[in-house]
Amino acid sequence: MLFLDELPEFSRHVLEVLREPLETGQITISRAGAQADFPARFQLVAAMNPCPCGYLGDPQGECHCSADRVRNYRLRISGPLLDRIDLQIHVHRPSAEVMQARQPDGEPSREVRSRVAACRRAQLERGGVCNAQLDGDALRAACCLGEETEALLSRAMEHHALSARSYQRMLRVALTIADLKGKPGVDPVAMAEALSLKGLDAVVRPAPPQLGTSSTM
């Protein structure tokens, strides 16, 4: 696991170098007259503030950053790198009550671990690899997408201008969500959850036909 805190503070060049191993699971080192490939499959976890001062959108703090400063700060992370980060979650500052709770809410880690282990076993039994390595026909066959799920993903692709890479990654995340719930395929609920975990909450639904027009299904 590679954890990068304050992600935009890293050199842009350093961050862009991560794109190859995130995509292929290996890195190629080239020198004069020689080239070598090395395994580099890892789990990337990164954290960043919403703006340089850290208070943008905080109901208990006041942001002093200009719009240009916020935009330049966020542009330090390129679109192609963000495209390779499947889960993008906004985490709000916890309250004092939450921090001081003796028994925090949520499942015990032992139960979560057991469910994740069972999910991983099911993936290996189904395709011989985990969902992260599934691609092409094998991925679509495992997802068993229905018409409603296909339509939901298509609307999200069009509305958010998602890339072909994002399409594949959304399928893998949604399939893993379904696996964790013991579902045989990806339904609209799992797909909507996968999209929300990518930070894509506003999925446009088709508008109803207007009066005086006809629609063909």
What is the chain's pLDDT, residue by residue, as a tens digit (217 residues)? 999 999 999 999 999 999 999 988 999 888 888 999 999 999 999 999 999 999 998 888 899 999 999 999 999 999 999 999 999 998 888 888 878 877 767 788 999 999 999 999 999 999 899 999 998 899 999 999 999 999 999 999 999 888 999 999 999 999 999 999 999 999 999 999 999 999 886 454 444 444 444 333 3
H or E segment and range at residue 39: strand 34-39
Strand partners, 38: 27
Print the SS3 string covering 164-205.
HHHHHHHHHHHHHHHHHCCCCCCCHHHHHHHHHHCCCCCCCC
Q: What angle do CA 134, 136, 140 make, to 5 degrees?
A: 80
The whole-angstrom separation of Cα 101 and Cα 91 is 18
- pTM tops 0.75, yes or no: yes
Cα torsion for 107, 111, 114, 119, to the nearest 10°?
-30
